[in-house]
């Protein structure tokens, strides 16, 4: 059965040895599940976009809008705020030539196809789960990104897997690491994303 009729077999969560279902993921720690997929930002970092990012924050730092000041402080040009990483690496949800993402105007309508996201690549060898949430995000910066840079994300390296029963259910905490590179293929950021995937407790 496929699509909306598919019901994953989560019976592993009811077993006494439920943790063993996560052993294949634990054994895979250190592997890169990115499968070579490059998630390239839809646009280069533009000065106008940086300005619009600063505007609602009233972020008045000349490093982000005055090229002479930025160069006087050793930067190659206007730098984009580090806090806007999700904006500078956005791969978008639709581009010219793509099929429509939303084809139904009804309230709470779901997309007609999977939108672009950061999870492309080989799936983890994990047991089926029906719920999950992000737990933490960590960014390690190596160099600034400046106006004119075109960023991309590569890799999905599994750093850890910790099976754990919590108040919401049985599952595992995982951390995945990816690299953000610029147009020169230099690593500018290491991004580590933690999440918890689980089967909810039965009331």
Q: Is residue 170 part of a domain?
A: yes
d(CA 35, CA 17): 31
Q: Is residue 52 part of a domain?
A: no
Q: Is residue 100 part of a domain?
A: no
The band of 1, judged by pLDDT with boundaries at 50, 70 and 90, is very low
Q: Is residue 57 part of a domain?
A: no
Write down the pLDDT at residue 6: 67
What is the arrangement of strands in the sheet containing 131-141, beginning at the earlier edge strand? Answer: 38-40, 152-165, 169-181, 187-200, 131-141
The answer to which of 1-5, 79-83, 169-173 has the lowest mean pLDDT is 1-5
Domain residues for the domain of 193 are 3-41+121-200
Q: How many domains does the chain have?
A: 1
Q: Is the pLDDT of residue 119 over 60?
A: no
**CATH number for position 181:** 3.10.129
More confident residue, 99 or 48: 48
Q: Is residue 164 part of a domain?
A: yes
Q: Is residue 101 part of a domain?
A: no
What pTM did the predictor assign? 0.84
Q: Is residue 108 part of a domain?
A: no
Q: Is residue 137 part of a domain?
A: yes
């Amino acid at each position: 059965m496929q699509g909306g009729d598919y019901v994953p077999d989560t019976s592993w969560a009811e077993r006494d040895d439920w943790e063993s279902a996560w052993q294949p993921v634990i054994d895979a720690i250190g592997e890169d599940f990115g499968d070579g997929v490059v998630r390239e930002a839809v646009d280069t970092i533009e000065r106008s976009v940086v300005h619009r990012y600063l505007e609602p924050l009233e972020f008045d730092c000349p490093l982000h809008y005055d090229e002479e000041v930025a160069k006087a402080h050793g930067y190659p040009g206007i730098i984009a705020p580090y806090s806007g990483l999700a904006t500078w690496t956005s791969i978008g949800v639709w581009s010219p030539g793509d099929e429509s993402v939303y084809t139904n105007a009804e309230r709470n309508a779901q997309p007609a196809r999977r939108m672009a996201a950061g999870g492309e690549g080989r799936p983890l060898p994990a047991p089926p789960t029906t719920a999950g949430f992000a737990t933490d995000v960590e960014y390690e910066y190596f160099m600034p990104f400046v106006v004119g840079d075109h960023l991309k994300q590569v890799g999905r390296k599994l750093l850890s897997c910790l099976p754990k029963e919590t108040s919401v259910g049985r599952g595992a905490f995982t951390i995945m690491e990816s690299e953000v590179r610029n147009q020169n293929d230099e690593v500018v950021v290491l991004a580590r994303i933690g999440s918890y995937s689980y089967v909810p407790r039965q009331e």
